[in-house]
Structure 1
């Protein structure tokens, strides 16, 4: 009996680490083509979405890229907006995506904000080691347990020095996270990238890469803040 209980608690901890979101996440966006959801993103203003670059560069040049907001479900009701232009961080290189994997989407018209749809602020300061954060995203076909519902995961930031011992190739534009409820790294994660990483109601990261039981890799938004503001200001 004891062994069954122990096994049951272990499985509960593993499978509960990434769970369905039960309340609205007003800043979360689903980036899609006519084929469906391709990645997530974060609403940072009425006409701008922050997301990852590497997923967008995989799409056909004539792909119809849209953003859906105001829903916690992939097939649920939401508001759809067309993307008018994509801006990649200048140092982004598709042959080595993990270092500067940042992109901005400009929408063709302003998002209608309300209780279910809002922008999230950029960070005023850099994220420190040990910060408590939450990341949201959708699972994909690569996940063992596919669900239609938006997922959330509570994680802790780790230093780049520690993260580099695991991954080896990160730089100051990266932010790494781990789930302390797991034995190693982020064993039960969702594979969908672009998910907003939030600390104290500020957007501190964008999920870039997931490496199974190793720490997850995010774009450190604080380091991109100057480029984000400049790009938005020059392209109103």
Structure 2
């Protein structure tokens, strides 16, 4: 029989690396179909959401996408907006899902902003190695536990050179982070693609993929700024 100490240590290790968000994350969005949440995203403007491409590309052609904002809970109250159009980064190729993995969602009407719903702007400079970052998202069925509450995790950026020791395909459009927890590292990290990665209240990344104890991989928003600006400007 396991002792109380062993059980306590196990539970601490499981829950230490990601925790429930206790205050609103006004820029975080839930992207959904009629079957429920499929990925997360970041609110860039009244009608625009930044998210990952690889989740969207596999949806049924007749799937109706909508975005829910203003809630930390998947089954909680929030404001829903229909998606009118999807814009994939031009170089994205579904055969290489982790390359150029970025998409924009245009909503059919403007989001109503308030204290719990706000846009987030990209950082004007590139993220450096060793930056302190926070990423948010919901746990998925692939995680140890399915949670209804939005999760947050504090991580540190690492250089692409170091990241290439794990993933040889990493280039300038990628951003990697690691967890410096004394215990389980990223073992309980959520796998919610599209989760916004933030530095000093500015958007720096969109979660592409999580690989357990290995570094997490993001789209580096700084490299997509021109495309984002141009796409939003041409499709008002």
Instruction: Decide: shared fold, TM above 0.5.
Output: yes
Deviation of the 1:198 alpha carbon? 0.2
Deviations 1:65-113 (A, max 9, x none): 0000000000000000000000000010101011210000000000000
Question: After TM superposition, where is structure 1 displaced by more than 6 Å over at least 4 residues in a row?
Answer: none
Q: In 2, distance between residues paired with 1:135 and 1:214?
A: 16
Partner of 1:174: 174
Deviation of the 1:8 alpha carbon? 3.7
Partner of 1:106: 106
Q: In 2, distance between residues paired with 1:197 and 1:83?
A: 22
| Gaps in structure 1 of 5+ consecutive residues | none
Instruction: Determine helix, strand or coil for the equivalent of 2:226.
Output: helix
Do structure 1's residue 205 and structure 2's residue 205 form an aligned pair? yes
State whether residues 17 and 184 of structure 2, in contact with CA within 8 Å, keep that contact through their aligned partners in structure 1.
Answer: no
State whether residues 13 and 181 of structure 1, in contact with CA within 8 Å, keep that contact through their aligned partners in structure 2.
Answer: no
Deviations 1:33-52 (A, max 9, x none): 00000000000000000000
Partner of 2:222: 222
Deviations 1:131-178 (A, max 9, x none): 000000011111111110000000000000000001111110000001
Deviation of the 1:201 alpha carbon? 0.4
Give 1:80-159 correspondences, 5 Å limit: 80-159=80-159
Q: In 2, distance between residues paired with 1:129 and 1:140?
A: 28
| Gaps in structure 2 of 5+ consecutive residues | none
Instruction: Determine helix, strand or coil for the equivalent of 1:134.
Output: strand
Q: In 2, distance between residues paired with 1:7 and 1:203?
A: 38
Deviations 1:176-218 (A, max 9, x none): 0010005676222101110000000000000001111110000
State whether residues 20 and 150 of structure 2, in contact with CA within 8 Å, keep that contact through their aligned partners in structure 1.
Answer: yes
State whether residues 13 and 183 of structure 2, in contact with CA within 8 Å, keep that contact through their aligned partners in structure 1.
Answer: no
CA RMSD of aligned residues (A): 1.5
Question: Cα distance 1:189–1:138, how it changes in 2: closer, same or farther (>3 A)?
Answer: same
Partner of 1:20: 20
State whether residues 30 and 37 of structure 2, in contact with CA within 8 Å, keep that contact through their aligned partners in structure 1.
Answer: yes
Partner of 1:75: 75
State whether residues 32 and 39 of structure 1, in contact with CA within 8 Å, keep that contact through their aligned partners in structure 2.
Answer: yes
Question: Cα distance 1:99–1:182, how it changes in 2: closer, same or farther (>3 A)?
Answer: farther
State whether residues 14 and 184 of structure 2, in contact with CA within 8 Å, keep that contact through their aligned partners in structure 1.
Answer: no
